[in-house]
Amino acid sequence: MAGHQVNSPMTGQVIEVSVEVGQSISAGDLLIVIESMKMENEIFSEVNGRIASIEVVEDQNVSEENLLMTIEI
Amino acid sequence: MPIDPNRETWKPGMPWEKALEDIEYITGLGREMGGVERIERQHSGGRYTVRERVEKMLDKGSFVEYGPMIGAAEYDDDGNLIEFSPGAYVMGLGEINGRPVAIGGDDFTISGGSPHNVRKHPIDFMQPLASQYGIPYIQLVEGVGHSAKSDEAKGHMGLPDGALWWRGIELLKKVPVAAGIMGSVAGAPAAFALMSHFTVMVKGQSQIFPSGPPVVKRAIGEDLDKEELGGYKMHVHESGQVDNVADSEEEAFEQIKQFISYLPNTTNDVAPRVETGDPPDRRPEELLNIIPPNRKRSYDPRKLIKLVVDNGEFFEMRRHWAGALITGFARLDGYSVGIIGSDPMFMAGAMDGWAAEKYAHFVDLCDAFNLPVVIFLDMPGFMLGSHSERKATMRRGVRALIASAEAEVPKIEFNVRKAYGVAADAAHSLGHPNGLNLRFGWPAGEWGGIPIEGGVAAAYRREIENAPDPEAHRSMIEDRLLKLRSPFRAAHKGDVVDLIDPRETRRLACRFVKLAQPMLEKLAQKPKRVVRP
């Protein structure tokens, strides 16, 4: 079992967490939306797997490279 | 077929037929490269030999080899050849889709591609030839550079004078140079590979670094394998040192062919027009609604670009690095163009230090090769915040501006949505002041020095703070300014040639590129700078 880390590509605010812990996901699924530079930046999964942990909540500010969630693959 | 030590070799006075037999015989020995075992090792590692690579890259039967007989040859006292090993480089002239090219590659089956006791280098033949004939130069690099063993053989370590590089740099001023990084490449071969207008590496098979893992471990104690240290994830995705990645050697060859197809033979020529069969007045219906009504939502910018260009064919360069900006080549009405676009799906399309560097490099490339530039701009400005500051975003952004202002190639710019601040000015300032520098707006356009939200908070700070209901006051000012954001207001002032139906984009772009051709002919006559990779 390997953990795939999803880090924030940019500094901004979490406006939507689109998955739950334990949920199975496929590459290309929407994971989270971060508002930054007045845009809703959708972060999609690069891998198939299961959400192992979610490290942020809605409305939270995040920095570039902050860990958002881990995916068990 | 190994060498036959008992074979009598042609000597002056012998018949010509015998000489021809020997030419065939020795050339045949050369074609055997480093021998069956080494060739096998190359193949079992999933790699082609340099001769197979050259064959796959070129039009069938078009290769004219230079120096097939160059090698270490040993003759006995009677003048018979008793030993022969070919030089570790294969090079010559060839054609790609009927266009001439100079091509060369390291032979990794011989001494691991390292400098051999025989002098056979592209610097002696291919580089001067490509430069003087004015034809593209392709290098297929698979060498590890200087070997400590050769120091021992020579008996001294030496202080090179640097002249090694001048010819390659001169070449960059004159003709397209493309490099395939075909294996583990280090030292001088790595530098030669990067001294190109286009570089591609093969996934899992190519690595590039100044020095490989053993040297790294000895120098700084870092223990990484070669793929971690210099593979495609490091250099195509993260560092941006190499432009593109290919899944196979064949795909790498295909990418090099495509790259060259968009460029002229020299910086003093204009790229050849290709009949693409795509009508210039085609109206892509999908363009009308490609920008979502919600200005916070993204869209697929590559889809937008592909809808506009001939047959949807877009050859992207540096796809995996500095993602906020898209750069690549396409054709419009058959004419080659450089395309620059924003990617709102990546960092909102904002320009950070990397994107600025990608922009400046691509503009320099188009300017050197007389390619008109088509821009699809959706840029909210410079990327903000501490992470972006660490990338020296604004200094590099200024470099992008300077590259634009220095470039003389004509430009057409479609302001498809956002264009804010100095970052967007980098795009606006491209195009010779007295030349073709056309700007059109789409109805989704929103342009300005600073976006309303942050702009109001900054400029009206005191007024807002002192208001009885600061939040309400701020909204009131924002609403007032919102009306000014309409692109119609900018159009009334002549900021754009016109506000257009997005479906007209292709027709206008094709028209522009055709009109630009005579100007390109004139620009091609000007002296060119080296494009620094």
Digit-coded pLDDT (tens) for B184-230: 999 999 999 999 999 999 999 999 999 999 999 999 999 999 999 99
> Is residue B463 in some structural domain?
no
DSSP structure class, residue B90: E
Task: Please indicate, yes or no, if residue B20 is contained in any of the structural domains.
Answer: no
Q: Which residues of A touch B298 (CB under 8 A)?
A: 39-42
Establish if B80 belongs to a structural domain: no
- Tell whether B384 is within 8 A of chain A (Cβ): yes
A and B: number of Cβ contacts within 8 A: 49
Residue that has been written with the tokens 């590692």 in this structure: B45
A41 close to B (CB below 8 A): yes
pLDDT (0 to 100) of residue B1? 64
CATH code of the domain containing B321: 3.90.226.10
- Are B175 and B296 contained in the same domain? no
Q: Is the model's pLDDT at B115 over the cut of 80?
A: no
User: A60 vs chain B: nearest CA distance in angstroms?
Assistant: 16
Of B345, B383, B453, the CB nearest to A38: B453
| Domain contains B415 | yes
Return the residue of A nearest to B295 by Cα: A39
**What torsion do the CA atoms of A20, A25, A30, A31 make, to the nearest 10 degrees?**
40
Q: Which domain covers residue B171, as residue numbers? A: 48-67+87-261
**Are B108 and B229 within one domain?**
yes
Q: Which residues pair with B184 in a beta bridge?
A: B207
* Percent of chain B topping pLDDT 90: 86
In a domain, B173, yes or no: yes
Where does residue B98 rank: exposed (0-12), middle (13-18), buried (19+ CB within 10 A)? exposed
- Distance of alpha carbon B532 from alpha carbon B173, whole angstroms: 10
Where does the pLDDT of residue B92 fall: very low under 50, low under 70, confident under 90, or very high at 90 and above? very high
Predicted confidence band of residue B533 (pLDDT cuts 50, 70, 90)? very high
Q: Which of residues 437-456 of B touch A (CB under 8 A)?
A: 451, 453
Residue of B nearest to A33 (CA): B297
- Residue B155's pLDDT is 85
Mean pLDDT (whole number) for B163-172: 91
ipTM field: 0.88
Q: What is the mean pLDDT of chain B?
A: 94
Q: Which of B296, B321, B418, B456 to mutate: most A Cβ within 10 Å? A: B296
Mean pLDDT of B255-273: 98
Residue B452 belongs to some domain of the structure = no
Q: Is B387 on the interface with A (CB under 8 A)?
A: yes
Chain A nearest C-alpha distance from B274 (Å): 37
Tell me what pLDDT residue B2 has: 79
Nearest chain A Cα distance for residue B345, angstroms: 6
Tens digits of per-residue pLDDT, B445-489? Answer: 999 998 898 889 899 999 999 999 999 999 999 999 989 999 999
DSSP letters along B310-321, please?
GGG-EEEESTTS
Does B112 score more than 60 pLDDT?
no
Confidence of residue B437 (pLDDT cuts 50, 70, 90): confident
The confidence score (pLDDT) of residue B434 equals 65
pLDDT per position as a tens digit, A29-67:
999 999 999 999 999 999 999 999 999 999 999 999 999
| Residue B467 CB partners (closer than 8 Å, separation 6+) | B473
B384 assigned to some structural domain = yes
Q: Around Cβ B318, how many Cβ atoms within 10 Å?
A: 23
Q: Which of B137, B193, B128 is nearest to B167 (CA)?
A: B128
Yes or no, beta carbons of A65 and B383 under 8 Å apart: no
Task: For residues B434-444, give the mean pLDDT.
Answer: 88
Report yes or no: B444 and B290 within 8 Å, Cβ to Cβ.
no
In a shared domain, residues B228 and B377: no
Closest alpha carbon within chain B to A37? B348
Residue B380 sits at the chain A interface (C-beta within 8 Å): yes
Q: Which of the two residues, B453 and B174, has the higher pLDDT score? A: B174
Residue B242 scores a pLDDT above 90: yes
Encode pLDDT of B48-78 as tens digits: 999 999 999 999 999 999 999 999 899 999 9
**Same domain flag for B58 and B179:** yes
B297 touches chain A (CB under 8 A): yes
- Our count of domains for chain B comes to 2
Name chain B contacts of A64, Cβ cutoff 8 Å.
385, 387
Say whether pLDDT at B339 is over 80.
yes
Nearest CA in chain B to A11: B385
Pairing, β B207-209 against β B184-186: parallel
Is residue B468, in this structure, part of any structural domain at all?
no
- Measuring CA to CA, how many Å separate B84 from each of B33, B73, B118? 10, 5, 11
What are the chain B neighbours of A44 within 8 Å (beta carbons)?
A: none
For domain A3-72, which architecture applies? Answer: Beta Barrel (2.40)
Is the same domain home to B216 and B342?
A: no
The residue of chain A with its CA nearest to that of B352 is A10
Left, alpha or beta for B529 (phi > 0: left; psi -120 to 50: alpha)?
beta
With a cut of 80, say whether residue B127 has pLDDT above it: yes
CA atoms within 13 A on the CB side of A16: 12
Which amino acid, B494?
A: G
Q: Is B386 on the interface with A (CB under 8 A)?
A: yes
B299, B387, B420: best to mutate for the A interface, most A CBs within 10 A: B387
> Quick one: which of A49, A58, A73 has its CA closest to A13?
A58
Residue B117 pLDDT more than 70? no
B387–A37 C-beta distance less than 8 A: no
Element (H, E) at B356: helix B353-368
Q: What's the mean pLDDT in B340-346? A: 96
The answer to whether B107 touches B151, Cβ cutoff 8 Å, is: no
